[in-house]
């Protein structure tokens, strides 16, 4: 599920957009009337989408865009007069009045993009810390000195033992370093 935050200066507008999204099968996480509320709500989430107007009581959309997390996207609903200012700010901008189906399609496409980015981020292998790299290297060196493995062979040995026992490679390296009967 993607976190969708609706932000408009007037609560009636915000609730209207929220109801429109809900009627079209899109869950809304939070409804806000100030940029500060939306920024706080966004900070509490990993990623998501902010559907908002151009101006709020405490800031403009560009100020909000500068202070939300990088994994948040923004769809700005703006009047024709404000559209040009929105277009050049790395946000999706739609002009008012808008067609319901175009708006819902844009929100759905943005949500699909967020889900795809999330999947891509999680598929990336986790970077090992320097400490973990040192432990793996020490285990390889021990295997190389005590059992005449080359570095590649020692690495494959640790990997195989790790997979066979169902524990990660760093833990297996710890076990190799602590075990006198490898």
pLDDT computed for residue 102 by the predictor: 93
CB-CB contact of 38 with 5 (8 Å): yes
Order the strands of the 92-95 sheet from edge to edge.
30-32, 3-7, 48-52, 72-78, 92-95
pLDDT of residue 181: 60
Nearest to 6 by CA among 35, 46, 43: 35
pTM, two decimal places: 0.69
pLDDT at residue 123 in the model: 82
Three-state SS string across the chain, please? Answer: CCEEEEECCCHHHHHHHHHHHHHCCCCCCEEECCHHHHHHHHHCCCCEEEEECCECCCCEHHHHHHHCCCCEEEEEEECHHHHHHHHCCCCEEEECCCCHHHHHHHHHHHHHHHHHHHHHHHHCCCCCCHHHHHHHHHHHHHHHHHHCCCHHHHHHHHHHHHHHHCCCHHHHHHHHHHCCCC
Q: Please say whether the beta carbons of 65 and 39 come within 8 A.
A: no
Give the pLDDT of residue 182: 59
At 37 the pLDDT is 93
Residues of the chain with pLDDT under 70: 88-89, 180-182
Q: What is the pLDDT of residue 112?
A: 95
pLDDT of residue 103: 93
- Predicted local distance difference test score (pLDDT) of residue 105: 95
The β-bridge partners of 31 are: 6
């Amino acid at each position: 599920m993607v976190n969708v935050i609706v932000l408009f200066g007037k609560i009636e507008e915000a609730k209207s957009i929220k109801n429109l999204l809900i009627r079209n099968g899109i869950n809304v996480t939070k409804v806000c009337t100030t940029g500060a509320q939306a920024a706080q709500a966004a900070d509490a989430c990993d990623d998501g989408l902010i559907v908002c107007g151009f101006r709020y009581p405490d800031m403009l959309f560009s100020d909000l865009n500068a202070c939300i997390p990088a994994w948040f996207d923004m769809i700005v609903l703006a009047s024709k007069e404000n559209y040009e200012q929105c277009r050049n700010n790395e946000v999706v901008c739609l002009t008012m009045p808008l067609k319901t189906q175009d708006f819902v399609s844009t929100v759905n496409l943005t949500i699909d993009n967020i889900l795809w980015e999330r999947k891509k981020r999680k598929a990336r292998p986790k970077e090992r810390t320097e400490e973990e790299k040192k432990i793996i290297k020490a285990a390889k060196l021990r295997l190389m000195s005590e059992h005449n493995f080359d570095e590649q062979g020692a690495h494959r040995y640790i990997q195989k033992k790790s997979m066979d026992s169902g524990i990660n490679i760093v833990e297996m390296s710890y076990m190799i370093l602590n075990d006198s009967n490898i």
